[in-house]
Amino acid sequence: MADKSNDYKDVLSRRRFVALTGAAGAAALAGCDGSEGTDDSTPADEGGDDDTSTEDDDMSTEDDSMEVADVRHRSGTSLSPADIQFNPWGQNTAQISNELIFDPFAEFNYATGEYVSAIIEEWEYTGDTFEMVLQEGATWHDGDPVTAQDLATYLRLDRESGSSIWDWGSDVEEIDDRTVAITIEGDINPSLIEFSVMENRLTTKHSRYGDVLSETQNADDNTPLTEFVDDEPIGNGIFQYGEADEQVILTERHADHPNADNVNFKEYAFQYFDGNTAIHQALLSGNIESMFAIYTPGNVVTDLPDSMNEYRTPRNGGVGIIPNHTHDHLGRREVRQAIAYAMDRTQVAANSDPRTKVAPRVPTALPNAQLENWLGDSMGDFETYGRESRETEQAASVLEEAGYSRNGDDVWEDEDGNTLSFELIAPGGWSDWVTAMESVADQLNAFGMDVEFSTVPFGDLGGSDGRWAQGNFDATAEYWTAAFARAAHPYHNLRHQMVNPKATLRENNYSYPGAIEDRGGSEADITVPALDGSGELTVNPVEDVGTLGSTSDSDTEAELALDLLWVSNQDLPMIPIQEGLNQTFISSNRFDIPAEDAEVAQVQYANTWLPRQGEMTYNGN
């Protein structure tokens, strides 16, 4: 091992290494955290990130068939390399570097709405099974071929972690060396299978994770899995893990990768930066050549060199308000509606960042791009709550109908004289969320609610003992969809809003009556006025969202989705505020890359996906 690392040092240009760390030092001095968690947060059960390490990591042997330039691409990360590990179910899982080191099952393209094959070459739903075939020639970085056993191990571990695949899957079977089948038990909506399965990343070489699997299977809970630390990953991606110090993670081209011919440069490094501003400075100064998902306001984008391409991809969601349904006021539908009416979502989005934020056209459980597909002709009947204006008259009338009136100070109070007041919180440093919530609070205060806005460190909010999980809030900023690829289908979003946000994103005990008991709900029926204006519509979110996830009949799917989306629109279990775009930057100075609007770059995230596809090549400069 010592020999290996010495060899490696010869490959490194000492001068460049020092230059990199120097830049990091300067960036760290520039100070300030304010990391913008929104960009990096990946929905919980997308999980697939990474891992495997090896005792005798073999540095790539050069492929003689093509010329590989001794060039290092410099990218950034906002997690300290000293703190990360590569077990995707563990703590402090690596960020972005794992996307190079481990191939995804497949990559979702937001422009086409389809998955592009990666380490899973083909996949098929047969009715009884979901079959996957591994890419031919896929190898681990230690030289072993990637086998069906490795894939099965991943899926079995994922089962131990409680992944949503196992809502409908019952077993995993290795058909042959390259084929694995998930046996399907019970009903599953076929259009959801891909979103559940293909979002993963093959990170588990059986030789590394086999023991963890058997330990976890024999244990009462999954702690053997979550506590396993993988800090020298054996990957299978287009680049392999080299070494990491406090500042830099270095990866080197994996010459035995089936797509290795697509990569004509030798190294890809991730430099650590503390906070968005440090990353912006690095992009401006050319210290890094790419950065994934970095919220960058217009004034900074304007200053970036012309050679810097900005790829904006949908996030299929963004920040909204999760009210605590046990709150005296926020638990009342009329108050939630009044909040939606009283704010101008377009103005909030423009305050947040006009370049990357848009207001939802119809507040329900779908991103704008999917509204027409699912609402169809009924879209006009859905309540928009005023997308570009503050509908204060309507807000006032719903409150008055609910028994509220304005007091002498022009502040709303209920029948018993209690002021309509609540505290609105947002994670500190998530700047686009904070600016959005500030605007919302101002607009609601102007309307006569008594809203106190404050920021709370993310560390106090997230996690199993955080304020979100404990339901210790009046109203909080949080995603209003399940976000990313799967949010294109209403199932995950409805489940997120009405049933169990933990299953889709993060734990949150918001106590919506329709939600499961673990989230503070009572699995109650929800009744709203019917969509066609006559009578009422009653749904049971737990049952009906479950049916939406399991039906294979497209008419039932469409009908049920419409009903549930209408309930979401009327009852507002969460209040949508804006949709965001992720910004990923790549410099074209030394690399040939696609145009900013190219279809191929509409992925999360372009700077790690494009090299694999031969769309980001060194141009000799």
Which chain residues interact with other proteins by CB under 8 A?
A: 32-34, 275-277, 280-281, 284, 296-303, 347, 350-351, 353, 428-429, 431, 434-435, 438-439, 442-443, 445-446, 452, 454-455, 457
CB of 422 to other proteins, least distance (A): 15
For 484-533, list the strands marked E by DSSP.
526-529
Beta carbon nearer to other proteins, 358 or 499 = 358
CA separation for the pair 160, 142 (Å, rounded): 26
CA separation for the pair 138, 432 (Å, rounded): 40
CB of 479 to other proteins, least distance (A): 19
Q: Is 467 exposed, middle or buried (0-12, 13-18, 19+ CB in 10 A)?
A: middle
Give Cα 213 to chain centroid, integer Å: 26
CB of 531 to other proteins, least distance (A): 34
Beta carbon nearer to other proteins, 11 or 301 = 301
CB neighbour list of residue 349: distance below 8 Å, 6 or more residues apart = 357, 358, 359, 436, 577, 578
CB of 297 to other proteins, least distance (A): 5
| Both tokens assigned to 441 | 């609070």
CA–CA distances in Å: residue 478 to residues 38, 199, 369, 437, 575: 9, 22, 20, 10, 10
CA separation for the pair 220, 207 (Å, rounded): 23
CA separation for the pair 438, 424 (Å, rounded): 9
Decide if 45 contacts 197 (C-beta within 8 A): no
Beta carbon nearer to other proteins, 48 or 275 = 275
Beta carbon nearer to other proteins, 301 or 379 = 301
Beta carbon nearer to other proteins, 296 or 602 = 296
CB of 303 to other proteins, least distance (A): 5
| Residue-by-residue DSSP string for 530-579 | -TTSSSEEEE-HHHHHHHHHH---HHHHHHHHHHHHHHHHHH-SSEE--E
CB of 39 to other proteins, least distance (A): 14
CA separation for the pair 281, 28 (Å, rounded): 11
Decide if 406 contacts 305 (C-beta within 8 A): no
Q: Which of 78, 29, 83 is nearest to 429 (CA)?
A: 78
Beta carbon nearer to other proteins, 299 or 464 = 299
Residue position matching structure tokens 């098929």: 124
Spell out the alpha helix ranges (H) of 333-489: 333-342, 345-352, 368-375, 392-401, 431-447, 458-461, 467-470
Beta carbon nearer to other proteins, 300 or 371 = 300
CB of 355 to other proteins, least distance (A): 11
Beta carbon nearer to other proteins, 427 or 576 = 427
Beta carbon nearer to other proteins, 50 or 353 = 353
CA separation for the pair 345, 285 (Å, rounded): 35
Beta carbon nearer to other proteins, 279 or 483 = 279
Q: What CA dihedral angle connects 601, 59, 243 and 37, to 10 degrees?
A: 20
Q: What CA dihedral angle connects 421, 468, 47 and 613, to 10 degrees?
A: 30
